[in-house]
Amino acid sequence: MATQKHRPKTSAKAPRTGRHSPWAAAALIGIGLLVTGGAYAGAMAATAAAGTAETSVATSLTTEDGKKLFQANCATCHGMDLQGTENGPNLIGVGAMSVDFQVGTGRMPLQAQGPQAPSKPVQFTDAQITAMADWVQSVSPGPGMPDERYLDGQGDAGRGAELFRINCAMCHNVGGAGGALTEGKYAPALEGVLPQHIYAAMATGPQNMPVFNEMYLTPEDKRDIISALMWSYDNGTPGGYTLGGIGPVSEGLFIWIFGIGGLVAVSVWITAKSN
């Protein structure tokens, strides 16, 4: 008989070492995530610290910084020394209040010539606006920023509402919703406008607005008007739906369509019923 060949017995599999264990892989992934997260957190902390330093510098701008900002962004139209050009008026004597209003409401820098400069998103920080206003004031003094107490909204709102109806409602509407003027111009809505800008508009008379100097409306009068507007917007309209707040135009249209329309419908129904 042929002798049967015996295959050599294979040795048993070697046990897995720690390097090949799934737990080791999970541990390595966890360590990697911890290292990556720590590095990211450190980088974010450094960025935040740099941002804080930049903010600190930005809030301490000088008049000289304001001059540079003005010459870089405004001098094309208003001249290097406020003397004006064919594209924009001179700013001699306008003062810090006017600069704060025009730049702080986004009206300036102007995007395009038109009947009126519209308000739009502001392009500068408060510190930059203050620096430019201070520089203009230092070159050619004019109306300065109003005292904070005139902007606190704590004046006589009832008296302010009466003053507003007499002096402002013919353009801005009795509710401050704004309205159309001639030749494509308009009186803007006042809701959401900062108190300092309402005061500045009364004191400097931008665009179509007349100047209400202190002989016509004292600072206390202006404070009362601002208080009336702030009270109105904070407390809403107790009488119900405002119909857009644009006065007799919308109200008359509502009555014409629904009031007279309802009467006509009832008349038609009665006539049809009798027939």
Q: Per residue in 71-107, pLDDT tens?
A: 999 999 999 989 999 888 999 999 999 999 999 999 9
Banded pLDDT at 42 (limits 50, 70, 90): confident
Domain positions in the chain are 48-145, 146-237
By C-alpha distance, which of 109, 118, 98 is closest to 188?
118
As beta bridge partners, residue 187 has 179
* Domain pair 48-145 / 146-237, same fold: yes
Give the CATH fold of the 48-145 domain: Cytochrome Bc1 Complex; Chain D, domain 2 (1.10.760)
Per-position DSSP letters for 150-171, written without gaps between them: GGSS-S-HHHHHHHHHHHTHHH
Percentage of the chain beyond pLDDT 70 is 79
Q: Does residue 147 or residue 237 have the better pLDDT?
A: 147
The CATH class for the domain spanning 146-237 reads mainly alpha
d(C-alpha 251, C-alpha 45), whole Å: 57
What φ, ψ does residue 213 adopt, rounded to 5°? Answer: -75, 180
As beta bridge partners, residue 85 has 88
What burial letters (b/e) apply to 211-248, b meaning 16+ CB within 10 Å?
Answer: ebeeeebebebbbbbbbbbbebeeeeeeeeeeeebbee
Q: Per residue in 223-274, pLDDT tens?
A: 999 999 999 888 876 666 666 665 566 667 777 888 888 888 888 888 887 7
The reply to whether the predicted model has a pTM over 0.75 is no
Residue that has been written with the tokens 């301490």 in this structure: 60
Q: Is 53's pLDDT higher than 50?
A: no
By C-alpha distance, which of 132, 150, 134, 157 is closest to 195?
150
